[in-house]
Amino acid sequence: MSEGLEGDNSSQVEREKINQETAEIKWSELQRYFAGGRVVHVGSALDLVDVALYFTQDKAKKIEDLRVHKQLDFVTDQQAKAWFADDILLWAVVVKPWVLVQTNRPSEKSG
């Protein structure tokens, strides 16, 4: 398990819940969320579920560190245009009010 997420059974239950809520979605279906500034890109080196947990557990310092290291940020106009042109599939999970997306997901997490 990733750093800072070890802990009680409730964290594990929350992690499993988030994992079950992840899904593949076409970029075109996320346009209105992007227009509202609510889509956050998670770098491919990160675990999407771990990052979603950082948001649900209000780990602001960890989130800021990821942003500083350019592993997490709002989807840029350039990314959006490229994704729209190919209407790519993204892994996504909603952590209100945000939609976290990732261009690929580690194979051990799929299934």
Concatenate the DSSP letters of all residues of 36-83 into one string. TT-EEEEPTTS-HHHHHHHHHTT-HHHHHHHHHTTSEEEPPHHHHHHH
pLDDT at 5 over 60: no
At 3 the pLDDT is 47
Residue 10 — pLDDT band, cuts 50, 70, 90? confident
The pTM is what? Answer: 0.85
Token duo for residue 72: 């997490």
Q: 13 in a domain, yes or no?
A: no
Task: Pick the more confident residue, 110 or 68.
Answer: 68
Structural domain total, the chain: 1
How confident is residue 7, by pLDDT bands cut at 50, 70 and 90? low
Considering the domain boundaries, does residue 5 fall inside one?
no
45 located within any domain: yes
Asked if residue 18 belongs to a domain, the reply is no
Containing structural domain, residue 57: 25-106
